[in-house]
């Protein structure tokens, strides 16, 4: 395959991954790690090229210093990159074909490597369980559990990487979406390890009721501020957007925010059920209410857009609008687009024949 596609390290992101996972490094190069995230987010082939480079570094590598560095880069990318990268890294092909092979008995890796791989699989399974197109890792996780594999105990500080849309400080100057909604996130800090802007939620089944320490409460509140920030940006975008007239880049960002906030809400709901601190629970409930309200507005925008699409298709196919659209077509349209148009008209015999002629 490498003969056909070329050396994975020759691509821009592949070259960075090769450097960031070099076994001669004394410690992680966080500036380089975040540069990798930027390339993945900002280029069309970034996610695919990054996965190819990761596979080359991890497959059959007995230099476990390089393997650990690669796993750290991988973890950082999942936490800071978007859906395009998530779809590749959570696939069965990558999780089972690369990560699980690292810890197979015949390779006999050090315990620290085994724990790291299992922790990543567990965290991603928890994080992406509610995303239908990202459940490959969930399936592998469940299969490993059925085989009796013991996963590391989840802790409040170390769990569940969830992506928050990041806009790098080096993004192109012409990115109007960045300038319009600059409050979405803070510029990436390349000089220090990245701050992962997500609620770090425990595995409830493993941990039971949680009485967080003051430090944990402070950290959680700072993370909830980020959730509120994302909610505020979504609200501003929904206020400005007109159904059917959305700017493509704005709409893409809105969809990413929606996915992020829904994933965050799942963690918040889990925390509500297991945190024993009344003040924290009340704060979580308020944030959850804000999220529910913004999701209602988002769904209304989506439905309005689908209604417009339905009416446009009806007009295109039949040259008529509103109550003059054959009811059989309307039912079909509603079935496939989940359109909420309610068109009350029943065709007479002549129209019925005309409809079949159209077909």
pLDDT in tens, 178-198: 344 443 333 333 333 333 344
60: left (phi over 0), alpha (psi -120 to 50) or beta: left
Structure-token pair, residue 101: 């092979």
To 5 degrees, how large is the angle CA 69–CA 72–CA 76?
140
**Burial zone of 351 (CB within 10 Å; 0-12 exposed, 13-18 middle, 19+ buried):** middle
CATH of domain 1-152: 1.25.40.90
* Residue 99, C-beta contacts closer than 8 angstroms, at least 6 positions apart: 58, 117, 120, 121
User: Which tens digit of pLDDT belongs to each residue from 81-111?
Assistant: 989 999 999 999 999 999 999 999 888 899 9
CA distance linking residue 306 with residue 9, whole number of Å: 43
Q: Which of the pair, 308 or 141, is modelled with greater confidence?
A: 141
Give the Cα separation of 180 and 5 in Å (integer): 39
Residue-level pLDDT at 327: 46
Under 8 Å between Cβ of 156 and 216: yes
Q: Distance of CA 354 to CAs 137, 310, 316, 320, 332, Å?
A: 51, 20, 16, 13, 17
Which residues neighbour 134 within 8 Å (Cβ) at sequence distance 6 or greater? 86, 87, 90, 128
Locus of tokens 């690369």: 98
Question: pTM higher than 0.75, yes or no?
Answer: no
Whether residue 288 contacts residue 265, with contact meaning beta carbons closer than 8 Å, is answered with yes
pLDDT higher at 105 or 350: 105
Domain ranges of the chain: 1-152, 309-358
């Amino acid at each position: 395959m490498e003969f056909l596609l070329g050396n994975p390290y020759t691509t821009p992101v592949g070259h960075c991954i090769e450097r960031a996972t070099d076994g001669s490094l004394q410690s992680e190069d966080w500036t380089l790690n975040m540069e990798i995230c930027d390339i993945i987010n900002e280029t069309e082939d970034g996610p695919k090229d990054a996965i190819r480079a990761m596979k080359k570094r991890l497959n059959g590598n007995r230099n476990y210093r390089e393997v650990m560095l690669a796993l750290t880069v991988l973890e950082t990318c999942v936490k800071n990159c978007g859906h395009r990268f998530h779809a590749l890294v959570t696939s069965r092909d990558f999780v089972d074909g690369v990560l699980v092979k690292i810890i197979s008995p015949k390779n006999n890796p050090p315990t620290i490597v085994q724990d790291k791989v299992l922790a990543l699989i567990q965290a991603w399974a928890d994080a992406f369980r509610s995303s239908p197109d990202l459940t490959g890792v969930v399936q592998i996780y469940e299969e490993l559990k059925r085989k009796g594999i013991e996963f590391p105990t989840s802790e409040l500080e170390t769990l569940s990487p969830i992506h928050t849309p990041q806009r790098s400080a080096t993004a192109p100057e012409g990115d109007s979406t960045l300038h319009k909604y600059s409050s979405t996130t803070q510029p990436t800090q390349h000089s220090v390890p990245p701050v992962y802007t997500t609620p770090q939620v425990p595995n409830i089944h493993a941990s039971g009721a949680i009485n967080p320490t003051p430090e944990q409460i402070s950290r959680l509140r700072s993370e909830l501020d980020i959730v509120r920030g994302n909610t505020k940006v979504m609200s501003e975008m929904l206020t400005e957007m007109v159904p059917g007239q959305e700017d493509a880049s704005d709409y893409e960002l809105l969809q990413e925010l929606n996915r992020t906030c829904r994933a965050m809400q799942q963690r918040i709901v889990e925390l509500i059920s297991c945190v024993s601190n009344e003040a924290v629970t009340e704060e979580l409930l308020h944030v959850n209410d804000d999220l529910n309200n913004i999701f209602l507005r988002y769904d209304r925008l989506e439905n309005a857009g689908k209604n417009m699409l339905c009416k446009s298709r009806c007009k295109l196919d039949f040259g008529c609008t509103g109550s003059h659209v054959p009811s059989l077509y309307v039912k079909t349209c509603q079935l496939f687009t989940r359109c909420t148009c309610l068109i009350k008209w029943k065709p007479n015999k002549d129209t019925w024949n005309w409809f079949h002629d159209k077909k």
